[in-house]
Amino acid sequence: MSATSGSVPLHGKHALVTGGARGIGLAITRALLAHGARVSMLGRNAQKLEQSARELTTLGEVVTVAADVADPAAVAEAFAKARARFGPIHILINNAGQAASAPFLKTDAKLWRQMMSVNADGTLYCTQAALPDMLSAGWGRIVNIASVAGLRGAPYISAYCASKHAVIGMTRALALEVAAKSITVNAVCPGYTDTEMVELAVANIVTKTGRTSNEARAELASHNPQKRLVQPDEVANAALWLCLPGSEAITGQAIVVAGGEVS
């Protein structure tokens, strides 16, 4: 088996990863580069993007584009810049997201729109920006990083839950729309994952309850039947698999990476 077809099965593919400079997005970027893809990392913080890109240059070709996924004009401009560097986009990883908590009666319009604009609207805008390339190529992979919160309810995060349910609904609908066009659309649904977002949740628990950081982390890990936080590389492995040869029949799915938390 040749190097290009075996060890680097995504050779020649252009992947764009939103929220690609940290956490799950960074782990996915590494995995895609290791399997031969050229990767555009998109995020709001240009400095963080450049820092992460410098650390990845030994793995493969990577470029950064700064944009807020909640701004459709900025998304269109960023995708055009990525396309100018690496050509048409074949793989889209919609990873950018935010989380916030509040009791239902304190979930105001601002919080609701914040969750929807980044998690749901951002996924829509980025997918609409990439899909024409995939249709022209006759091949594409879209992976939406959702959450176990998109498959069930949870107290104090109604806006976040609603936004992730929207992402999964969009995933299933689009998957059927493009099923006969060699384009797959799937969601990966992590449980609590050891990232900066979880560290913010830990800090919030400490502030509100007076627990220690270790106690707060243990509380989050207790939701996982394996009694641990999911690791970013575990989520990345699931996302990568959906882009590799052999996954062609997997589409419209919400794949849970949460140690058995949702089955």
Token code pair at residue 7: 């060890």
* Dist CA 200 CA 220 (whole Å): 12
What does the radius of gyration of the chain's CA atoms come to, in whole angstroms?
A: 18
CA proximity to 19, closest of 139, 146, 191, 172: 146
| Side chain identity at residue 28, one-letter code | I
Token code pair at residue 34: 């290791």
Tokens 């649904």, residue located:
189
The answer to whether the CB of 107 falls within 8 A of the CB of 159 is yes
The answer to whether the CB of 227 falls within 8 A of the CB of 219 is no
Task: Look at the chain and count its residues.
Answer: 263
160 in active site: yes
Of 125, 156, 160, 192, the catalytic one is 160
Ranges of H-type helices in the chain: 23-34, 46-56, 72-86, 109-115, 122-137, 158-177, 196-209, 213-221, 232-241
Annotated catalytic sites, by residue?
160
